[in-house]
Amino acid sequence: MKNRSFTSIALFTVALLFLIGCAGATRSGDRGTPGELPSDPESSLSASTSEGENQLSDEELLLLEDDSDWNDGPTEEIYTVPDPIEPFNRVMFTINDKLYLWIMIPVAKGYAKVVEPQIRTGVKNFFFNLGAPIRIVNNILQGKGKAAEAEVARFLYNSTVGVLGFGNPAKHHDGLNPDPEDLGQTLGVWGIGDGFFLYLPVLGPSTLRDTVGFVGDRYASPVGFVEPMELSLGLSGYNVLNTLSFRTDDYRTLKDAALDPYVSFRNAYIQLRQSKLRR
């Protein structure tokens, strides 16, 4: 029995690696977990102008900060992660690239043609809602009580008013859209460094820490408990396809805009994770 569950977990993980894609360095912070919904701290269409209202949060101050230290001598303030296995990573990058361009993106495009956006959005919301318990746990582990409460409230609200999470009525409420947290970020908050950069088969860019976090989050995901295993894997794969269907062009855009796509993806991923860690 015990043996069987271990084998199934191992199989599950391996198969997941084949099923789950994460669109390169696009919105990949929530890789493999249900499609992330952007949180907007203010959904007001109006702009706050005039200096009087300009209350800068720390994060915004950082975004505004001038990185003009480019001429202050040889040191640069760019956060980088070591990449000792770059040759291996580059091979993986090439394999993933073909997998994306030849298989996953065409399939996602075909799916997007057949299935209406409303339905795909519903599916995305459903899976995102399922991920709430994991995000709640990670918020608690990071000591983000307010965000954890917001996650709980959103989960209850979207599961009931949103009909099992297919709808996302919470989207229109301020304070019910906290930034998604995952185990990789939790470990980062606890002071564990990125380790080194990894380009995973199918999953795309990651670091040692984020990979560990990803496996931990998968382990706690409700989708992982679905029996039989084939169905569980099918669900994960479907979720990935569905998420990708919204952003089929992004991978190409990023790739075409780069002089060295591998270095570009690596940096974009690291920047994205850093920005998530700050929030």
Partner 1 sequence: MFLKRWSVAIAIWCLFVGTVGAGNASPTPMDFVKERIDQIITILNDPTYHTPGQKGSQRDRIWEVSQPMFDFKEISQRTVGPKWDLFSEAEKEQFTHVFSSFLGNTYIDKIQGEYHNEQIVYLKELVKEPLALVRTKLVRESVEIPIDYRLRKNDNQWKVYDILVENGVSLVQNYRVQFRSILEKEPPAELIRRLEQKLQEQNQALQ
Q: Where on the chain is the footprint of partner 1 (CB under 8 A)?
A: 25, 27, 37-38, 40, 42, 44-45, 47-49, 51, 54, 56, 59-60, 62-64, 66-68, 70-76, 78, 80, 117, 120-121, 124-125, 246-247, 249, 253, 256-260, 263-264, 266-268, 271-272, 274-275, 278-279
122 vs 112: CA distance, rounded Å: 13
10 vs 137: CA distance, rounded Å: 24
Which residue carries 């269907």 as its tokens? 245
Closest distance to partner 1 from the beta carbon of 102 (Å)? 20
Element housing 1 (H / E): none
Cα 262 from chain centre: 19
> Hey, CA dihedral for 38, 42, 43, 47, is it positive or negative?
negative
With respect to partner 1, which residue has the nearer C-beta, 14 or 56? 56
With respect to partner 1, which residue has the nearer C-beta, 37 or 147? 37
With respect to partner 1, which residue has the nearer C-beta, 70 or 225? 70
Q: Is 229 helix (H, G, I), strand (E, B) or coil?
A: helix
With respect to partner 1, which residue has the nearer C-beta, 11 or 252? 252
Closest distance to partner 1 from the beta carbon of 77 (Å)? 10
With respect to partner 1, which residue has the nearer C-beta, 1 or 259? 259
With respect to partner 1, which residue has the nearer C-beta, 231 or 263? 263
With respect to partner 1, which residue has the nearer C-beta, 159 or 275? 275
Cis link prior to 87 (omega < 30° from 0)?
no
Closest distance to partner 1 from the beta carbon of 228 (Å)? 31
Closest distance to partner 1 from the beta carbon of 143 (Å)? 21
- List Cβ neighbours of 243 (8 Å cut-off, separation of 6 or more): 23, 34, 35, 124, 127
- List Cβ neighbours of 5 (8 Å cut-off, separation of 6 or more): none
Contacts 24+ apart (CB under 8 A), 250-258: 250/23, 250/24, 250/26, 251/23, 251/24, 251/26, 251/100, 251/101, 251/105, 252/101, 252/105, 254/24, 254/25, 254/26, 255/24, 255/97
